[in-house]
Amino acid sequence: MEASTNSSKKVRYALAPYTNQFVLGQGWVAGWEDFSKHRRYYIKNPTIKRADKNTLFKDQKFISKEDHINVFIPHEENAKKEELLMYENITFSGLIKPYNRKDGSFDYSVHTIPSSYIEDILLNLSKDVDDILEEAGRITPDTLLCLERYVIPTLKHINEELDEAGDLLPTFNGTYNTYKDCLNCWEDAIRNAIKIIRSISGNRKFRRRYDIDYDFAKHIPSCI
């Protein structure tokens, strides 16, 4: 769906020095086209900046303002996201890569990588943790199992991914330190909820108060 204008044929030479480097960008959706492994989004008027995990996008080093740029996103990642709409504002991140146009000329585009989606995962997780902590008030085996077997391992895994990403981290809504603090805070809150549930389950007086028949917690191995 790329428009065949003269501006679309210009090579983005400002991006050449950043080949294979991680960048962040912001623009709006002007179209897309599906290929075997990717969907190519045609992003109009993108602002491209150099990634820095310790700095928000708005304050990062400016690289260029382009007429448009092509952003390639794998189909499996597209399937996890809400469908983008025409003319919708979009933020994106990935590696600057050269590619060949249909006419044989070349240009530069952005190819997303796994760490491009960490910020989306963290924002969704924030909503999930809020819901989970509300549910943690229910002193049941299912609640304890969920916290021990799913929530804590998930938080640990994302914490590891955050560290592994290094500077390959989108920072549109927060920096590395912001997200690190959030993850640690969430994990502390979940661990505290687990301790409360185990304490109530293991105390006969509390079991009577909460109408619990037996100490279910001792049958569920602890991960903390």
pLDDT tens, 64-110? 999 999 999 999 988 888 788 999 999 999 999 998 888 888 899 99
Of the candidates 64, 60, 49, the residue with the CA atom closest to the CA atom of residue 107: 64
Encode pLDDT of 167-182 as tens digits: 999 999 999 999 999 9
Instruction: Assess whether 91 and 129 both reside in one domain.
Output: no
224 lies in a domain?
no
Residue 45 is encoded by which pair of tokens? 């008027």
pLDDT tops 90 at residue 148 = yes
Instruction: Assess whether 42 and 86 both reside in one domain.
Output: yes
Whole-number Å distance between alpha carbons of 15 and 21: 10
Number of domains in the chain: 2
- Predicted local confidence at residue 82, as pLDDT: 79
Instruction: Assess whether 37 and 76 both reside in one domain.
Output: yes
For residue 131, name the pLDDT band (cuts at 50, 70, 90): confident
pLDDT over 70 percentage in the chain: 96
- Predicted local confidence at residue 79, as pLDDT: 83
Averaged over 142-147, what is the pLDDT?
93
Averaged over 154-165, what is the pLDDT?
94
Q: Do the Cβ atoms of 57 and 172 come closer than 8 Å?
A: yes
- The better pLDDT of the pair 220, 104 is held by 220
pTM score, two decimals? Answer: 0.84
pLDDT tops 80 at residue 203 = yes
Rg of the chain, C-alpha, whole Å: 23
pLDDT tops 50 at residue 1 = no
174 lies in a domain?
yes
49: CATH: 2.40.50.140
Whole-number Å distance between alpha carbons of 110 and 126: 28
- Predicted local confidence at residue 224, as pLDDT: 67
Instruction: Assess whether 126 and 99 both reside in one domain.
Output: no
Q: Do the Cβ atoms of 158 and 179 come closer than 8 Å?
A: no
Averaged over 198-210, what is the pLDDT?
95
Instruction: Assess whether 87 and 140 both reside in one domain.
Output: no
- Predicted local confidence at residue 205, as pLDDT: 95
8 lies in a domain?
no
Domain boundary among 68, 94, 112: 112
- Predicted local confidence at residue 9, as pLDDT: 59
Domain boundary among 81, 112, 143: 112
Averaged over 104-128, what is the pLDDT?
90
- Predicted local confidence at residue 3, as pLDDT: 43
Which residue range is the domain that position 147 belongs to?
Answer: 117-219
Averaged over 140-145, what is the pLDDT?
93
Residue 185: count other Cβ atoms within 10 Å of its Cβ. Answer: 11
- Predicted local confidence at residue 4, as pLDDT: 41
Instruction: Assess whether 208 and 125 both reside in one domain.
Output: yes
Of the candidates 77, 99, 136, the residue with the CA atom closest to the CA atom of residue 2: 99
Instruction: Assess whether 180 and 204 both reside in one domain.
Output: yes
- The better pLDDT of the pair 56, 8 is held by 56
